[in-house]
Amino acid sequence: MSQIELKKLRKVFGENIEAVKDLDLVIEEGEFVVLVGPSGCGKTTTLRMIAGFEEPTSGEVVIDGEMVNDRDPKDRNLGMVFQSHALFPHKTVYQNIEFGPRMKKIPLEDRKKRVEEVAEMVHITPLLNKLPSQCSGGEAQRAALARTLITNPGSFLLDEPLSSLDAKLRREMRAEIDRLHQELKKTFVYVTHDQEEAMTLADRIVVMRAGEIEQEGIPMEIYNDPSSYFVADFFGSPSMNLLDGNIRKGSSGESFVFEGYGLSLDLPRLDNLVEGEHCVGIRPESISVGDSDNGLELSVSLVEPMGKDTLLYFSHSAERPLIAVVEGSTKIQSGDLVVVQFPKDSIYVFDSDGIRVK
């Protein structure tokens, strides 16, 4: 088990392409941390700096209290799983898994035993004599996991390991990785651009944007209490409804009212709220549909049954349609006018810089 600490970590590519900007992060022993963000946000570069494949321009990588900037990747007590699985194509799955212990000159007998153990652990025993090209994507990724597991590293680095798999396999492998983490109780650092993976796997999510940490916290905190427009938009599927508009004082003079796109919404009491250009957000599942006669009447443009839930799309003049989720199936059809309520405690307000107003 290892604790990983990043101190003012910075990486500049070429002359002035700043991939990672003064990143400070402490990853505790046994923690499952997910670095998440859109492509180009510096998450993979950060992971590669932890692994030692990328040299930081400045700052320190500290593992278990020791600065490891000058240490070779193999001396950092890490295991890594790559997006492309990176199995050796000319070696069988068995030889692939055996590679690590063989390099460490572990006797043949022990090696064989260990290979069988880890193969059992990730359920690939029948594949041991196959070549990677004969394995499916999921099988290859399991083999890659086994190859890393066998070296028993203090922490695991996973660089978008599931992004090349199809949706069903991805869910399966996600559960597998979760199980491994619980069994091994090791430190996991996981990079992904998929918010769903981040939400389901992480003990703690670190949201990155343009080389900086935008927000970090436990998954529900990120979901319920986004610190910015970016985070609010990034997490949740379907994503949060975000509307640009104007905020002004209500008639009573105390509360605030949002106006835009023909909507007029009562806002919660927020200490720092002022009048002016703002953006408000509400999660699709927070919008209540047809519960009372008291609310806004909107016309449904599209009904999308998802099985467990149904998505309702409302047409209005925003760039993105307004979406609401209703449980189960519904009799509402496209073209219907329905009464919609926006509970004011579920409304998030962001200022013109995208910072959440609290």
Partner 1 sequence: MAYYLKRWRFPFFRYLVLGIWTLIAGFPIFWIAATSFKPAHQWTSWPVVYVSNEPTMENYREVWGIREKTVEEASQTYEKGKDARPESVSMNKAWKAFGNSLLIALIATSLTVAFGTVIAYGVSRFQILSEIRMFQLLMLRMIPPIVVAAPLTLYYTTLNLMDSVTGLVLIYFITTLPYAVWMTKSFIDEVPREIEQAAELLGATRWRTIVEVVFPLIRSGIVATFMFILILTWSEYLMSFILSKVDVVTLPVQLSKYEGSTEGRMYGTQSALAVGITLPLMLIGIFIRKHLVRGFTFGMVKR
- The window from 115-123, 127-135, 177-185, 283-291 that contacts partner 1 (CB under 8 A) reads 127-135
Residue 132 binds to partner 1 (criterion: CB under 8 A): yes
Residue 140 binds to partner 1 (criterion: CB under 8 A): yes
Report which residue type is found at 209: R
Min CB(13)–partner 1 separation in Å: 14
Short-list 68, 300, 29, CA closest to 189:
29
Report which residue type is found at 234: F
- The window from 38-46, 69-77, 111-119, 264-272 that contacts partner 1 (CB under 8 A) reads 69-77
Binding residue (CB under 8 A) for partner 1 from 24, 60, 73, 175: 73
Residue 302 binds to partner 1 (criterion: CB under 8 A): no
Query: Long-range contacts for 229-234 (Cβ within 8 Å, ≥24 apart)?
Result: 229/279, 229/281, 229/350, 229/354, 229/355, 229/356, 230/354, 231/207, 232/281, 232/348, 232/350, 232/356, 233/281, 234/36, 234/37, 234/38, 234/195, 234/207
Exposure letters 106-124 (e unless 16+ CB within 10 A, then b): eeeeebeebbeebbebbeb
Binding letters toward partner 1, positions 158-187, x by CB under 8 A: ------x-----------------------
- The window from 96-104, 186-194, 241-249, 305-313 that contacts partner 1 (CB under 8 A) reads 96-104
Residue 15 binds to partner 1 (criterion: CB under 8 A): no
Residue 84 binds to partner 1 (criterion: CB under 8 A): yes
CA 156 to chain centre: 17
CB 4 within 8 A of CB 155: yes
Nearer to partner 1, 73 or 343 (CB): 73
Size of the site for partner 1 (CB under 8 A): 30
Report which residue type is found at 338: V
CB 53 within 8 A of CB 28: no
Paired sense of beta strands 309-314 and 322-327, if any: antiparallel
Residue 253 binds to partner 1 (criterion: CB under 8 A): no
Binding residue (CB under 8 A) for partner 1 from 14, 65, 89, 253: 89
Please give the residue ranges that form the binding site for partner 1 (CB under 8 A). 51, 53, 72-74, 78-80, 82-90, 99-100, 103-104, 131-133, 137, 140, 144, 147, 151, 164
